[in-house]
A and B are shown apart, each in its own frame.
Chain A
Amino acid sequence: DGGITQSPKYLFRKEGQNVTLSCEQNLNHDAMYWYRQDPGQGLRLIYYSQIVNDFQKGDIAEGYSVSREKKESFPLTVTSAQKNPTAFYLCASSMGGGRDTQYFGPGTRLTVL
């Protein structure tokens, strides 16, 4: 079955630690995205990538980093510089055009202790 997987589903981190969230897709999509979801705030774009080895900052990139070494993988690192990292993180992918449907993974809930 084609789709997007995110792991882990739940993640706990101590303050001051970096943590990496995994996102893998087997849909052969060119574009991949990371969103952050907070209660009552909808989704906000963190980073996106249109092709391998290239990525762009979204609306709230501060305190986050990404890499795109393979077409199917787009990991997100939440660094210690992110002041309020507790949130639900969603990864998505699409064929690449602005009119294309984005397909979402199941999400990772990150809690900072």
Chain B
Amino acid sequence: GNSVTQMEGPVTLSEEAFLTINCTYTATGYPSLFWYVQYPGEGLQLLLKATKADDKGSNKGFEATYRKETTSFHLEKGSVQVSDSAVYFCAPGKLGGGADGLTFGKGTHLIIQP
């Protein structure tokens, strides 16, 4: 089955700093890759996704590129804001028609200080 490794944090940065959250995965074939964000007390929201190799997902200033050679999907943002403080989850999907759920990393708690 799939597995995911991501830095757990907490990761503490100052406002306007550059952000990288690493994510590597193991999977059969080339699954779709997702980043979700969770704000305190809420459910998960899709942040971005990429469906094939070399695709770049982007949203709200965040970016991640599907790297099949290194099986990685690192999340980046050039200038973080206090409102970006949340928990971020990397998740590869499943191939084919089997809708048996995503495989989630343990999440990276990001804290942005003013």
Chain B residues in 8 Å Cβ range of A106: 42-43
Q: Does B97 contact A (CB under 8 A)?
A: yes
Residues in A whose Cβ lies below 8 Å from that of B31: 98-99
A104 touches B106 (CB 8 A): no
Closest to B42 in A: A106
Q: A20-34 interface mask toward B, CB cutoff 8 Å, 1 = contact, 0 = none?
A: 000000000011010
- Residue B61, interface by CB 8 Å: no
Query: Total number of A-B contacts with CB less than 8 angstroms?
Result: 75
Q: Which residues of B contact A90 (CB under 8 A)?
A: 43-44
Residues in A neighbouring B41, C-beta threshold 8 A: 107
Q: Which residues of B contact A44 (CB under 8 A)?
A: 104
Tell me the A77-100 residues at the B interface (CB within 8 Å): 90, 92, 94, 96-100
* A35 / chain B contacts, CB cutoff of 8 Å: 101, 104
Asked if A99 contacts B51 (CB within 8 A), the reply is yes
Q: CB-defined interface of A46-69 with B at 8 Å, one 1/0 digit per residue? A: 001010000010100000000000
Question: Of A6, A43, A98, A107, which contacts B95 at CB under 8 A?
Answer: A98
A residues near B96, Cβ cutoff 8 Å: 97-98
Most B CB within 10 A of own CB, among A31, A97, A106: A97
**Can you list 10 A-B contacts with CB-CB less than 8 angstroms, sorted by A residue number?**
A33-B101, A40-B8, A45-B100, A94-B99, A98-B96, A98-B98, A98-B99, A100-B99, A101-B34, A104-B36
Closest 5 CB pairs of A and B: A98-B94, A104-B43, A31-B99, A42-B106, A99-B32
